[in-house]
Amino acid sequence: MRQFSTLASPLALALGLSAAFPLGWVAAQECRSGPVSLDARATLVLPATFGVRGVVPGPSGSLVLWSAGGDLFSIDRERSLTRILLPDSIRPAGVGLTDGGIRLLDQATGRDYLLRPDGAIEQVGQAHLGMAEQLDQALWRRGGWILALRDLASRRFVVRRSFPGDKRELFRSAQSDSIKTIHRYQITESSRGLLLTRSMAPFTVIRLDPSSGATDTLAAPLASLDQVNLPADSLFHWRALPAVALDCTLLLTLSDLSSDRRLLVRYGAGDRVERVTELDAPLGLVARLPGEDAVLGARRAGELELVWYDWRWVGEPNPPTP
Amino acid sequence: MRARLSLSALCLVLLTIIAVRPATAQSLAALAAANTATSLMEKTGAGCWGCESFGGWQICHGGEVPGYYNCSSTVLNTCRLSSPGCGAGAALPLDPDGSAQYVSRGSLLGVQVALHDGDPPVRRNCEGVVVARKQTSDDILSVRIRTGSLTL
């Protein structure tokens, strides 16, 4: 079902999830890994020309997603889609769900906004961005922002905290030869820290401690890609989506932008690639949905649509059907 | 003198093109909006722009899809690095299905993202990236079957 309206109740609904969402659910689960099975259970067609830039899931099954163009949508548990109107000047680099409303960090200015359940929006802060810094992404986490940006002066990718009284830098990539080739990573949450997924080859995944900045680089998937016939001169067209953590298993989608070829890479608990699955269909795995054993995917089937996958460890029985 | 005249003429042409593009995009956009019920697929990245070679000059070439008309340009050395709708984050996947992502910043050539009746079913930019396409009902069914259940 597709539904468009202006704000109010869906926003309040989306906010209702914020209190329970952040971290408790991951800590409570044992850290398992192994083969997983995904079964599509529901789909939702997205509006034409809408491209998912980011998704924030909540424990109650609702979602907030946004596009690079500044479109913001909420999806409730019944999968009805509602547009949340934003001023044209705001294009979120990140979205956070809080008790007080939806936090939005504007990509161009670093202004921190609060969108209240009644639809009112106000600036509540300002992330400091240097003159030569280009914000790529912001991740709301425990009352503050984790900023992922490119420092065009030093030609490095930087991850920095933007919390009240805490602007520590957590990560700085190697220096690139030019601005255009600055390494770019996308940040996702996992139970063992932040995951930085490098968008381009060699698609490195780095686990980052969001407090200390300690890093752990996982084995690059490229060595494992020999078996799938991926010529080195085609890597220019490949991109990685942000890694999705299922306990200690990580799923990484590699997309060939010149075809429908996809590689779904599974990391095990040892942080090594355990399996690479080839797929000839335009699909990407986007996020794990907390509170339900579901993974969100996006696929192009006529139009861009979201797909809810039930996931389970292979070898475990199917969950009972309600 | 002749060279100077040629340069002036070229500048005039360029300025005309630059000025006309957004309006063209806008009217096409309105047209596209009126036809959203058609089977045409317009991919994300709509309104993104790239650089197109014109008489040896790189000129700004915007998309033709509703949403953003923010093709920014400077005179002569025309294309800037980004337009807010796409450029700033363009090296990141904008569309997680992976098939419609603008992936370079400021180096896309000849970007046209809208498909119209009679167009070939797949449109690629000069880098070979699929930026728009149509899927037949068989294609759609195939995607649904292949992605319905996965073991990883």
Q: Which pTM was predicted?
A: 0.73
Domain, as residue range, for B95: 2-148
Q: How confident is the model at residue A108 (pLDDT cuts 50, 70, 90)?
A: confident
B100/A283 CB distance under 8 A: no
The number of domains in chain B is 1
Q: How confident is the model at residue A229 (pLDDT cuts 50, 70, 90)?
A: confident
**Does residue B1 have a pLDDT over 80?**
no
* Shortest distance, CA A54 to any CA of chain B (angstroms): 8
Residue in chain A nearest B141 by alpha carbon: A301
Mutate to test the interface with B, among A55, A179, A300, A313 (most CBs of B within 10 A): A300
pLDDT by residue (tens digit) across A170-203?
Answer: 999 999 988 777 888 999 999 899 999 998 889 9
pLDDT for B103? 32
CA separation for the pair A1, A261 (Å, rounded)? 29
Residue with the bigger pLDDT between A5 and A308: it is A308
**Does residue A4 have a pLDDT over 70?**
no
pLDDT for A243? 94
Q: Extract the runs of DSSP E, i.e. beta strands, from A107-227.
A: 111-115, 121-126, 133-141, 144-151, 156-162, 169-172, 185-190, 193-198, 205-208, 215-217
B142/A53 CB distance under 8 A: no
pLDDT for A74? 93
Q: Which of A96, A95, A74 is nearest to A21 (CA)?
A: A96
A297/B36 CB distance under 8 A: no
**Does residue A145 have a pLDDT over 90?**
yes
Q: Which of A198, A209, A275, A282 is nearest to A243 (CA)?
A: A198
pLDDT by residue (tens digit) across B48-84?
Answer: 444 455 566 555 555 433 223 233 444 444 444 333 3
A283/B98 CB distance under 8 A: yes
Whether B152 has its CB under 8 Å from any CB of chain A: the answer is yes
Residue A202 preceded by cis peptide, ω within 30? yes
Q: Looking at the partner chain, which of B44, B92, B96 has a beta carbon nearest the beta carbon of A49?
A: B44
Q: How confident is the model at residue B144 (pLDDT cuts 50, 70, 90)?
A: very high
Residue with the bigger pLDDT between B97 and B41: it is B97
Whether B37 has its CB under 8 Å from any CB of chain A: the answer is no
* Shortest distance, CA B21 to any CA of chain A (angstroms): 19
Quote ipTM for the complex. Answer: 0.82
**Does residue B35 have a pLDDT over 90?**
no
Residue in chain B nearest A52 by alpha carbon: B95
Q: What is the DSSP letter of A226?
A: G
A257/B98 CB distance under 8 A: yes
Most confident of A54-58, A305-309, B12-16: A305-309
